[in-house]
Structure formats: C-alpha cells, structure tokens
C-alpha cells in the first residue's frame, strides 16, 4: 500500500512512525514532513491546503491511502476532493469538519443530540452580547466562533474581562473567526481528552490523554499548543468513558449522519469531568498534538489497520489490541515560545537518543542543513516514551531530555504531575 500523510509536525512524525511499522505499508510519503520524518518516510513539498495540488500529487504517486493530519486541509475540503477523485482518505469532509471549525455549529449539534455541554448563547452583534454577560455574571467563557489558532477562547474570571473580550472579538482581533461569538457557562472540573475513530456510523475509542497547555511548570504562564501529554488519563475511568460514549459521542455521530454529513475520521473530544460525568468542552476533527504522540506510542503499527477500517466504513468489525501500558511525551520548545523565538539554532545529541518501541524522539519543528538538525518552529521536539507505569514512561522521556544538547530549548519539568500525584510546583 502507498500511503500519503499530510502534515509536518510531531503528530505526523508519530503517525508516520506507527504506520511504517505495519507490513501493509509499502511506501510512505509525508508532505511536507520535517527532519525527523525524513528518517522514516519520503518527504515531499506540497501545498497541503490546495485540494487540486494534493489530488494531482496523490494520483501521480499512485497513492492508495491518504491520512490527513492537521485541521486546515480538512477545513479547506481536501478530504472531499480526494474522495471525489476515488482516493481512500482518512479525515472528515469539509461539512463534518465544522465540528472543529465552528463553535456555534458544535453547540447546535449538541443541542439536537442532547449531549451534556455548557449552556450558551450565540451573538453576531456586540450590544446583546454585553447585555447577556451582565445578566449571567462571571466567571463566563467568550469564544470566537471560527478557527483562531487556539487563541479564540477567553475564560473570563470577571465581567470586565468578558466585556473586553467582546470588544476585541467584534473589533476584529480574530478576523472573520470573531464575526460571531459564543458565550458559555463556565464549567468547573478536570479536563481530559478522548479520542474516537469514526466511520460515519460506528465509533471506536482509541485512548484517553491529558495535555499541559500552559508554558511553565505548575501550569503557569501563557497558553501554548501543548507542552506535554500522557496516556491514559486516569480521570477518565471506564465508567465515565462508557457514559460519554452513550451521552455524547454516539448521539453526535447520529446527529451528523441525520444532517447528511456523516463524520469519518478521528473525533477528539475535550471533556470537563466532574462528579463522575463528562461534559463536552469542544470537538476537534484531528488528532491532538502532542496527544497523538502518546497514542501512537501505545498503539504502534495496528494504527494503519484502524485508520483504514475507519476510512472504509468497517469499524464495526475492528477492535483495538490494547496493552496495559502508559506513555508520556515531553515537548522541547525554542526559548521564548509561545512568544517570539529564534529559528535555526543547532540541536545536538539527537544521534545518541534511543529509537525503539519504548523511546522515540518525534520531531515537530525541525529541518536539516549541512548535516545538522536545526530548530524550525516554536515546539521543536517531542521526547516520547512508554512504560509499564506512568513513572517508568516519565523516567524514560526525561532521560532523553538529559541526553539532548540544545541550549536554546526548554521544556516543562512536571509533565504528568496530576496523574503522578505530585505537587505542581
Ligand atoms: P476550546 O478551544 O473550546 O477547547 O477552549 C480552550 C480551553 O478553554 C479549554 O481547553 C478549557 O480549558 C477552556 N474552556 C473552554 N470552554 C470552557 C467552559 N465552558 N468552561 C470552562 N473552561 C472552558
Ligand atoms: N494539544 C491540543 C491540540 O492539539 O489541540
């Protein structure tokens, strides 16, 4: 099987690493890829948001199966174009990807599906939005409707903050993404992520994880794309997962099918957990990054069979071969991230790192030049390990951090604190 993965971050390195382990994979191309991906696959230059270019490339390379990593090509309809051209594709249609691309759309689907989530109201003008905030009081959550690179959500602890967020959003701070605004009840609890493969009709859970969004130890500092993750997330017990499948996931899939836009791909549900119940915070229509890295570490080569079964509508007959293990990934970022940071600094020590079924350094933003690996983004490396316990996975991941020689990078030292029962400071 010739396989094409679209994307070039740590998520796609982890997907590529898992997919090439499956004997069904004859040839793997990743576009655009990065320096780490180039060690396991061919990398190709391609504008992955240009449907025509992606279809042409896939046809020219006789690709049998395309796996779409990030949300931008999904929101641009690349999966539709590939399927129209008769190419098997893992990833939702543009219409189904609305579950991530529009917060208002997701809330409407939840209403129809009767899925537990925060109470909300939607506004396209500032004055009624302000009146609603004054009426509801704080804390309250203000969200730009559209994709805003993870920055369109303001959790306002005071009314003033919420009103300022309204001014920013309707003032154009988030461009078209902020033309409509969703205002939500503030939900208390512990957050965790849940990943489900979907084939339009059936849903197959493939794991739970917890991310660390803040940049510094102790969950301090600004939000990032994620500084580390581990799987499984102990807060998502089997009982909570079962209930969430019955109350949230399956009703969502049924509602999407009823609307004529069945959901095929991975559904990444962000849950808020309190009193043994999950409520939906948000959906994403792709794997989380860096959550994907820990899921791939745990699932390995079977991932290709599972993604293919989802794309072919055969999930009813698929099952996950679980092992009773734990995985952790620690993100190394360029100093300054998520603010301004330097690109092009040299990363040494990579050749000394182990590459095995239990320890991998997935590359996020890297490139090679003159035989050296250079940092090429904010989040740069994902030191990922598996173990019989979370502590063992943690020790293996941080041992790799110690072996790296990259003075211009940093990481959090407390990934996993919640599950390991450590203090966060
Ligand atoms: P989202 O992009 O919708 O996931 O929001 C980003 C983050 O904001 C979430 O991961 C939560 O930490 C927080 N958040 C979003 N909605 C709510 C809510 N209704 N109540 C509490 N926190 C929220
Ligand atoms: N790590 C969060 C995300 O991928 O959205």
The structural domains of the chain, ordered by start, are 2-93 (3.40.50.20), 119-185 (3.30.1490.20), 190-317 (3.30.470.20), 326-420 (3.90.600.10)
For a substitution probing ligand 2, which of 230, 288, 333 has the most ligand atoms within 8 Å of its CB? 288
Report whether residue 71 contacts ligand 2, using a CB cutoff of 6 Å.
no
Read off the pLDDT of residues 12-51 as tens digits, 9 standing for 90 and up.
999 999 999 999 999 999 999 999 999 999 999 999 999 9
Report whether residue 289 contacts ligand 2, using a CB cutoff of 6 Å.
yes
User: If you take atom 2 of ligand 2, which residue's CA is the nearest one?
Assistant: 288
Helices 103-113 & 250-258, crossing angle to 10 degrees?
Answer: 100
Q: Place 179 in a pLDDT band, splitting at 50, 70 and 90.
A: confident
CA-143 nearest atom, ligand 1: 3
Q: Is the pLDDT of residue 175 over 80?
A: no
For a substitution probing ligand 2, which of 72, 100, 212, 226 has the most ligand atoms within 8 Å of its CB? 226
Closest CA to 306 of 316, 297, 315, 295: 315
Q: Which residue has the tokens 């559904």?
A: 267
Tell how strand 190-199 and strand 264-274 pair up: antiparallel
> Ligand 1 centroid vs 201 CA: distance in angstroms?
27
Tell how strand 27-32 and strand 277-284 pair up: unpaired
Tokens of 132: 């609603």
β-sheet bridge partners, residue 39:
none
Q: Is the pLDDT of residue 424 over 60?
A: no
User: If you take atom 7 of ligand 1, which residue's CA is the nearest one?
Assistant: 153
For a substitution probing ligand 1, which of 104, 153, 189, 272 has the most ligand atoms within 8 Å of its CB? 153
Using CB distances shorter than 6 Å, the residues near ligand 1 are 118, 141, 153, 155, 184-187, 191, 270, 281-282
Tell how strand 2-7 and strand 65-68 pair up: parallel
> Ligand 2 centroid vs 295 CA: distance in angstroms?
13
Tokens of 336: 């300054």
Sequence-separated contacts (24+) of 157-160 with Cβ below 8 Å: 159/133, 159/134
Q: Place 177 in a pLDDT band, splitting at 50, 70 and 90.
A: low
Query: So what's the pLDDT on residue 425?
Result: 41
User: If you take atom 4 of ligand 2, which residue's CA is the nearest one?
Assistant: 288
Read off the pLDDT of residues 87-144 as tens digits, 9 standing for 90 and up.
999 999 999 999 998 888 999 999 999 999 999 999 999 999 999 999 999 999 999 8
Report whether residue 288 contacts ligand 2, using a CB cutoff of 6 Å.
yes
CA-290 nearest atom, ligand 2: 1
Q: Place 171 in a pLDDT band, splitting at 50, 70 and 90.
A: confident
| Contact residues for 149 (Cβ-Cβ < 8 A; gap 6+) | none
Report whether residue 146 contacts ligand 2, using a CB cutoff of 6 Å.
no
What are the φ/ψ torsions at residue 175 (nearest 5 degrees)?
Answer: 60, -145
Mean pLDDT of the chain: 95
Query: So what's the pLDDT on residue 204?
Result: 98
Report whether residue 100 contacts ligand 2, using a CB cutoff of 6 Å.
no
Q: Which residue has the tokens 């691309």?
A: 101
User: What element of type H or E holds 273?
Assistant: strand 264-274
pTM over 0.85: yes
Report whether residue 184 contacts ligand 2, using a CB cutoff of 6 Å.
no
Report whether residue 228 contacts ligand 2, using a CB cutoff of 6 Å.
no
Read off the pLDDT of residues 136-145 as tens digits, 9 standing for 90 and up.
999 999 998 8
> Ligand 2 centroid vs 134 CA: distance in angstroms?
31
CA-150 nearest atom, ligand 2: 5
Read off the pLDDT of residues 386-423 as tens digits, 9 standing for 90 and up.
999 999 999 999 999 999 999 999 999 999 998 998 54
Half-sphere exposure of 164 (CA within 13 A, CB side): 9
The sign of the dihedral angle between the CA atoms of 402, 403, 407, 412 is negative
Average pLDDT over every residue of 222-226: 92
Average pLDDT over every residue of 320-334: 96
User: If you take atom 5 of ligand 1, which residue's CA is the nearest one?
Assistant: 153
């Amino acid at each position: 099987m010739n396989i094409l993965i679209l994307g070039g971050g740590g998520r796609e390195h982890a997907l590529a690493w898992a997919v090439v382990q499956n004997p069904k994979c004859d040839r793997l191309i990743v576009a655009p890829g990065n320096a780490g991906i180039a060690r396991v696959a061919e990398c190709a230059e391609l504008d992955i948001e240009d449907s025509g270019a992606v279809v042409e490339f896939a046809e020219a390379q006789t690709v049998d199966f395309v796996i779409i990593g990030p949300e931008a090509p999904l929101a641009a309809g690349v999966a539709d174009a590939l399927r129209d051209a008769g190419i098997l594709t893992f990833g939702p249609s543009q219409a189904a990807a609305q579950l991530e691309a529009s917060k208002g759309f997701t809330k409407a689907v939840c209403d129809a599906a009767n899925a537990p989530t925060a109470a909300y109201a939607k506004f396209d003008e500032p004055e009624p939005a302000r009146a609603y905030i004054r009426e509801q009081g704080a804390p309250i959550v203000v969200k730009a409707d559209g994709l805003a690179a993870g920055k369109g959500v303001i959790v306002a602890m005071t009314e003033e903050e919420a009103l300022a967020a309204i001014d920013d959003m309707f003032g154009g701070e988030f461009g078209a993404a902020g033309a409509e605004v969703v205002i939500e009840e503030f939900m208390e609890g512990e957050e965790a992520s849940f990943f489900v493969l979907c084939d339009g009709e059936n849903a197959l859970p493939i794991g739970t994880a917890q991310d660390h969004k803040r940049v510094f130890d102790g969950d301090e500092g600004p939000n990032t794309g994620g500084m580390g993750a581990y799987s499984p997330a102990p807060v998502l017990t089997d009982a909570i997962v079962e209930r969430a499948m019955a109350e949230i996931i399956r009703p969502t899939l049924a509602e999407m099918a009823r609307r004529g836009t069945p959901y095929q791909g991975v559904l990444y549900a962000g849950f808020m957990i309190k009193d043994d119940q999950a409520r939906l915070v948000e959906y994403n229509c792709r794997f989380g990054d860096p959550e994907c890295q820990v899921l791939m570490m745990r699932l390995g080569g079977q991932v290709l069979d599972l993604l293919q079964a989802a794309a072919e509508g055969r999930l009813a007959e698929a099952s996950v071969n679980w092992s009773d293990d734990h995985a952790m990934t620690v993100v190394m970022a360029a100093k300054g991230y998520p603010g301004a940071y330097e690109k092009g600094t040299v990363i040494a020590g990579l050749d000394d790192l182990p590459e095995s079924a239990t320890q991998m350094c997935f590359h996020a933003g890297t490139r090679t030049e003159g035989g050296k690996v250079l940092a090429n983004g904010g989040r740069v490396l994902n030191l990922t390990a598996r173990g019989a316990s979370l502590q063992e996975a943690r020790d293996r991941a941080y041992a790799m951090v110690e072996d790296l020689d990259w003075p211009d990078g940093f990481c959090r030292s407390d990934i996993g604190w919640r599950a390991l029962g450590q203090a966060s400071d």
